[in-house]
A and B are shown apart, each in its own frame.
Chain A
């Protein structure tokens, strides 16, 4: 018990001190996870709406690929990007390895299938009556997608929440392509690994509490938006 109390005490002290190291880590985490989620959602949600509405040969295969992508291990996504960005790799000339840019790219790869898959699922849950009415409306394809997206708005909020939750919590991808360089590419999760490895359990737990707090705030905001979108009746 004494040990646990000691770790907790260290953790809270670390958080409330809110030192420059923690501030840098938190800021980079929010930037990387935020931008990665934004990119994944901006590409994934429209793709998911299209996938949910359209009927074509091979649609089942695409849905299966997206669903597989939702479960891809982050460390594998990071490895694939690492190979591309390696000096001799296809994108080696970008010189992006071990930069926040590479981390955003890796996490966007993780966010995309989640945003697309959850959105497609919500659109596919539209009633047959709704789909038929959509088809009957005299509107362009993009307008039709927009109406469908608005109709499944809580599902899209869930897609954003799931994508953000996925990237903020993952450690494998950012570690592989970012390298966990202090002050440059260290984010909350990789910092937790670092501190734990060095037996700084208080600091590690403190970072974990900050991570939870960020996730909680973002999900509160998205849940509020979701509930607002529910019909009043």
Chain B
């Protein structure tokens, strides 16, 4: 696949140097999430790509700033600003899908932060430009509307290239084909979310998030606040409200996984409150700081964090059969933006 060429870009401000995003190697049609803590330089990198700072023209970029500004006049004036023809029709449809079509007659000055963000998102997504750059697109949007907004954005981006900045793990997991982890102005690593969020060698990620398990799957059924997700045959219960058949990604921390020897697992089956019980064999043991990361193959790799004391007490070594349990409430199903 053709790489998106940003040319040579660099920026330095307040002593922080932003690396050239050519390092990202974004591929045409790819959805790249720039992920990292506040102050890492994510927004600056996106603004360089969008051409609002630096030398790049940015004329191929539909850019949503972190705090979208509403100009004088109605919501509609702001929605359609800079759009033409078919783009305007698309913007009206997107405004409707994002739940702000009833606000188009309202003076933009009266709109709330969330309403502004949706309106600006509709305008940005409606643009026909080939690269979509979104800076914290869900920052002002409530938890219950996130799945819808992510789905609408995913549809509207379509086959275009997208770069999304977020510090929210769930949004990163939902959007990303690949994640670029950014710390202190530099991109530390780039890869699929499953790898970036669960990389024993990646102390940055571990420090930021704790180690995260990420699985891709399809919702099989709903049960109250939970959904059962089939991840390549592995059944996982997680918090979620998606309908059966929805494509989702399930995340849970490696610290939420309890490890049992097989005999003790058999003894406690059905008696503890965990909904997820899986059997597998230990694939690797890794030292991560003061803890041990045990990766268990249960049809796919799942990481668990345990103390050295626990490891010694259980006598775990590579290839041992073990059982894992995870409370469904510790796992979350997020709607995948790319269906």
Query: A166 CA to B131 CA in the complex, in Å?
Result: 50
**Is A138 within 8 A of B127, CB to CB?**
yes
Kindly state whether residue B288 has any CB partner on chain A within 8 Å. no
**Is A231 within 8 A of B107, CB to CB?**
yes
Query: A232 CA to B65 CA in the complex, in Å?
Result: 25
Chain A residues near B27 (CB-CB < 8 A): none
Report the nearest B residue to A126, measured CB to CB.
B69
Given known contacts A129-B65, A231-B109, A150 and B71 CB-to-CB distance under 8 angstroms? yes
**Is A147 within 8 A of B71, CB to CB?**
yes
Chain B residues near A130 (CB-CB < 8 A): 69, 71
Chain B residues near A138 (CB-CB < 8 A): 62, 82-83, 127, 129
Query: A133 CA to B69 CA in the complex, in Å?
Result: 6
Given known contacts A129-B69, A147-B81, A150-B71, A233 and B50 CB-to-CB distance under 8 angstroms? no
Question: How many A residues touch B, CB cutoff 8 Å?
Answer: 19
How far in angstroms is the closest Cβ of chain A from B129? Answer: 7
B residues 83-124 near A (Cβ < 8 Å) are: 83, 107, 109-110, 120
Selected from B58, B63, B72, B82, the residue in CB contact (under 8 A) with A151 is: B72
How far in angstroms is the closest Cβ of chain B from A123? Answer: 13
Query: A130 CA to B72 CA in the complex, in Å?
Result: 11
Mask: chain B, 54-86; 1 = CB below 8 Å from A; 0 = not: 000010001111011101110000000111000
Query: A150 CA to B107 CA in the complex, in Å?
Result: 15
Query: A229 CA to B81 CA in the complex, in Å?
Result: 19
Query: A233 CA to B68 CA in the complex, in Å?
Result: 18
Kindly state whether residue A216 has any CB partner on chain B within 8 Å. no
**Is B72 within 8 A of A133, CB to CB?**
no
A residues 115-154 near B (Cβ < 8 Å) are: 127, 129-130, 132-139, 147, 150-151, 153
Interface centre among A129, A132, A139, A233 (most CB of B within 10 A): A132
A residues lining the B interface (CB < 8 Å): 127, 129-130, 132-139, 147, 150-151, 153, 229, 231-233
B residues lining the A interface (CB < 8 Å): 47, 50-52, 58, 62-65, 67-69, 71-73, 81-83, 107, 109-110, 120, 127, 129
In addition to A136-B52, A138-B62, 12 A-B residue pairs with Cβ atoms within 8 Å of each other are A129-B68, A133-B120, A134-B69, A136-B58, A136-B64, A138-B82, A138-B127, A138-B129, A147-B71, A150-B72, A150-B73, A232-B109
